[in-house]
Chains A and B, each alone.
Chain A
Amino acid sequence: MAFLELQSLERDFGTVKALDGIEINLNQGEFLSLLGPSGCGKTTALRIVAGFDRPDGGRVVVDGKDVTRVSPNKRDMGMVFQAYSLFPNMTAAQNVEFGLKIRRQDRGGRHKRVEELLELVGLGHAGGRYPHQLSGGMQQRVALARALAIEPRVLLLDEPLSALDAKVRVQLREEIRRIQLELGITTLYVTHDQEEALSVSDHVAVMYRGRIEQMGAPAEMYSAPATPFVAEFIGTMNRLEGTVVDPGTGTVETGGKTITVEAARSKPRGARVLVLVRPETVDVTAANGAGANTFTGEVLTHTFLGPVTRLRISSDDASLIADMPTARAAALPPGSKVDAALPASEARLLDLSDEPLPEIAEEPDPAGP
């Protein structure tokens, strides 16, 4: 049986359904990220697990016990917040000690534990400092140590890195994962940053409009998105709307052009589909007459991403994004005519319902309800 279970959680804020039947089962020691744009309900779900909010329906079960109605101070859950949450009137060590004092641990044991934890988060030297004397990254480390001090049954992290610099963010997320593995603590992590979620989690649940769109291992989420939303939200995708013309050969018509997509062989004729192609699988060469599955167009922009360069290509039939090694991209500057070939075997297909595709903001607002 799973250690942490969220059973058909429902939460309404007025007319908005913040949670619409959330089901999560997490085994002991696993790390699950709730990933989604702001307002998708991920923070609400976390707050319900923490006990700061009550669901309108459904249950939260920890280790076989229903804790839905248990008040937050009786739940034994460690929480790290998005905002800096250290008690300003206490030193780092006193902050870490707080939960132990409440549990009436003896002084000697407390001090030893505080030392261990500060050491664990790499701040053995900073115990005597007050929060305002610590950098943002250090404060979040102390907050993590404080949450872990009480040996919580579940660790909850609510966008703990979103206020930090990019570099500190990467460093700290790896450290969170290291500590989590070391302690084997069941962890629920909320983030809107897909890179963060993919890099540290055992499982990722992508949420949208109060529902879980897809849940799975990070690699699975990336390579096999189950819905158009997930495809768009995780990584970058070329999305081409089309219609299956010939399932026998896997021919799909899109934007007045026919391409071959192997995945289309299983679809009925006339099915409306979304063809998904990762930018790194698009093969771009200087224009030399169209081959199969090839769009001829013009390079609009280059975006330098380090080892790869992202090209925006505009053809008459579609606009595409392609990633290619930076060294090769230099030969195809903006304005050059190119052929962009889509791989027939690696493109994925999703059935397109009549529902309009969700719009996703470039940089989701971290301050969700």
Chain B
Amino acid sequence: MTRRHIAPSAVVWLLLGAAYFFIPLLATFLFSLRQLQTGHCCTVASYTWVIHNGQFWHSLKLSVELALETIVVSLILFVPTVYWVHLKVPRLRAVLAFMALVPFVVPPIVLVVGLLNLYKGTPTWFYGQPWGFLVAAYVMLAFPYMFFSLDSGFRAIDVHTLTEASQSLGASWPRTLLTVILPNIRAAALAGSFLALAIVLGEFTIANLSQFHTFPIYLQYVNETQAYAAGAATLVSFGITWLAMLSLLFVGRKRGQRAAFLAGAR
């Protein structure tokens, strides 16, 4: 393969982008190495504290669980919906696209107040539990990302022909969706899932107002009480988020690709 020529201006922009991304991380890292008593460098005490802190792990686990639940619920709800819209009622696509803009337009603070009122009076197992109420809210927040990812995925394949080919070979609707359509929009579903994961792991307003102790809430609490430790917690969670993304990517791959991925990683 021939080496592609990279324009100098591209390199400059790339470096600028990298700086924009890495400088805050680096600053946080340096900050997190300071000693609690003196404020001087360098100690890993904050990291030890974070790693041995039960609440850190507890809240992080809760957030990851909520993220996974949000992803599963979103996929179950939206994959068949978007499929059906593309196949049978393409006119509704515009309506869905409009609805997908609502979570952007309505600020989370307004959304949560509305949701708290709307769901008031629902059973406690839903209203009082993060995997009930919070996930319901997060599915709405994730909707635009899921929708636009899936929508572009469905546009990239010939939904009609694939469906008809599958049907003419005797496949039912569920079978067509699972064995023919889903594997071919895998990348799109994965992209939507990443975004949902990122959103849920970082969501503060709704969790705070509905008083659930998710990871961002905990982080905020630590930040107010122990600034250096908060830096360490941020970086650890950042690393864990990246790991979560990578494993999602891994799970989303096909068996053969998975082996190749492992071989390449070695």
A, B from the same assembly: yes
Q: Chain A residues in contact with chain B, CB under 8 A?
A: 50-52, 71-79, 81, 83-89, 98-99, 102-103, 143, 146-147, 150, 156
Is residue B171 within 8 Å, beta carbon to beta carbon, of the partner chain? yes
The 8 A CB mask of B152-196 against A (1 = contact, 0 = none) is: 000001100110111111111001000110011010000000000
Closest 5 CB pairs of A and B: A99-B169, A89-B183, A79-B168, A85-B165, A102-B170
The reply to whether B162 and A52 form a contact with Cβ atoms under 8 Å apart is: no
* Min C-beta distance of B88 to chain A, whole Å: 12
User: What separation, in Å, do the CA atoms of A33 and B167 have in the docked complex?
Assistant: 23
The reply to whether A98 and B169 form a contact with Cβ atoms under 8 Å apart is: yes
Select one of B158, B172, B180 contacting A73, CB under 8 A.
Answer: B172
* Min C-beta distance of A102 to chain B, whole Å: 4
> Dominant SS at the B interface?
helix
The reply to whether B169 and A83 form a contact with Cβ atoms under 8 Å apart is: no
A-B contact pairs, 13 of them (CB 8 A): A51-B168, A71-B167, A78-B168, A79-B168, A81-B165, A84-B158, A85-B165, A87-B166, A99-B169, A102-B171, A102-B175, A143-B165, A156-B168
* Min C-beta distance of B84 to chain A, whole Å: 16
Contacts known (A83-B158, A85-B158, A88-B157); A73 close to B165, Cβ less than 8 A: no
* Min C-beta distance of B80 to chain A, whole Å: 17
Contacts known (A87-B184, A98-B169); A81 close to B161, Cβ less than 8 A: yes
User: What separation, in Å, do the CA atoms of A349 and B167 have in the docked complex?
Assistant: 47
The reply to whether B180 and A87 form a contact with Cβ atoms under 8 Å apart is: yes
The reply to whether A89 and B184 form a contact with Cβ atoms under 8 Å apart is: yes
The reply to whether A87 and B162 form a contact with Cβ atoms under 8 Å apart is: yes
Closest to B180 in A: A87
The reply to whether A72 and B184 form a contact with Cβ atoms under 8 Å apart is: no
Query: Using Cβ atoms and an 8 Å threshold, which residues of chain A touch B161?
Result: 81, 83-85
User: What separation, in Å, do the CA atoms of A156 and B167 have in the docked complex?
Assistant: 14
User: What separation, in Å, do the CA atoms of A75 and B158 have in the docked complex?
Assistant: 23
The reply to whether B170 and A79 form a contact with Cβ atoms under 8 Å apart is: no
The reply to whether A50 and B183 form a contact with Cβ atoms under 8 Å apart is: no
Contacts known (A83-B158, A88-B157); A52 close to B169, Cβ less than 8 A: no
* Min C-beta distance of A104 to chain B, whole Å: 10
Query: Using Cβ atoms and an 8 Å threshold, which residues of chain A touch B165?
Result: 79, 81, 85-87, 143, 146
The reply to whether A103 and B162 form a contact with Cβ atoms under 8 Å apart is: no
User: What separation, in Å, do the CA atoms of A103 and B169 have in the docked complex?
Assistant: 9
Closest to B254 in A: A89
Query: Using Cβ atoms and an 8 Å threshold, which residues of chain B touch A146?
Result: 165, 169
The reply to whether B184 and A103 form a contact with Cβ atoms under 8 Å apart is: no
The reply to whether A99 and B170 form a contact with Cβ atoms under 8 Å apart is: yes
Query: Using Cβ atoms and an 8 Å threshold, which residues of chain B touch A99?
Result: 169-170
* Min C-beta distance of A206 to chain B, whole Å: 26
Contacts known (A83-B161, A87-B180, A89-B183); A103 close to B168, Cβ less than 8 A: no
Query: Using Cβ atoms and an 8 Å threshold, which residues of chain A touch B179?
Result: 98
Contacts known (A73-B170, A87-B184); A79 close to B162, Cβ less than 8 A: no
Closest to B158 in A: A83
Query: Using Cβ atoms and an 8 Å threshold, which residues of chain A touch B169?
Result: 73, 78, 98-99, 102, 146-147, 150
Query: Using Cβ atoms and an 8 Å threshold, which residues of chain B touch A150?
Result: 169-170
Closest to A52 in B: B164
The reply to whether A73 and B162 form a contact with Cβ atoms under 8 Å apart is: no
Query: Using Cβ atoms and an 8 Å threshold, which residues of chain B touch A50?
Result: 164, 168
* Min C-beta distance of A160 to chain B, whole Å: 12
Query: Using Cβ atoms and an 8 Å threshold, which residues of chain A touch B170?
Result: 73-74, 76, 99, 102-103, 150
User: What separation, in Å, do the CA atoms of A295 and B153 have in the docked complex?
Assistant: 63
Query: Using Cβ atoms and an 8 Å threshold, which residues of chain A touch B171?
Result: 73, 98, 102
The reply to whether A72 and B167 form a contact with Cβ atoms under 8 Å apart is: yes
* Min C-beta distance of A181 to chain B, whole Å: 22
User: What separation, in Å, do the CA atoms of A303 and B121 have in the docked complex?
Assistant: 83
* Min C-beta distance of B5 to chain A, whole Å: 28
Contacts known (A102-B170, A103-B170); A79 close to B184, Cβ less than 8 A: no
User: What separation, in Å, do the CA atoms of A146 and B180 have in the docked complex?
Assistant: 14
Query: Using Cβ atoms and an 8 Å threshold, which residues of chain B touch A79?
Result: 164-165, 168
Query: Using Cβ atoms and an 8 Å threshold, which residues of chain A touch B183?
Result: 87, 89
Taking CB atoms and an 8 Å cut-off, the chain B residues in 25-68 that contact chain A are none
Give the one of B164, B166, B183, B184 with max A CB within 10 A.
B164
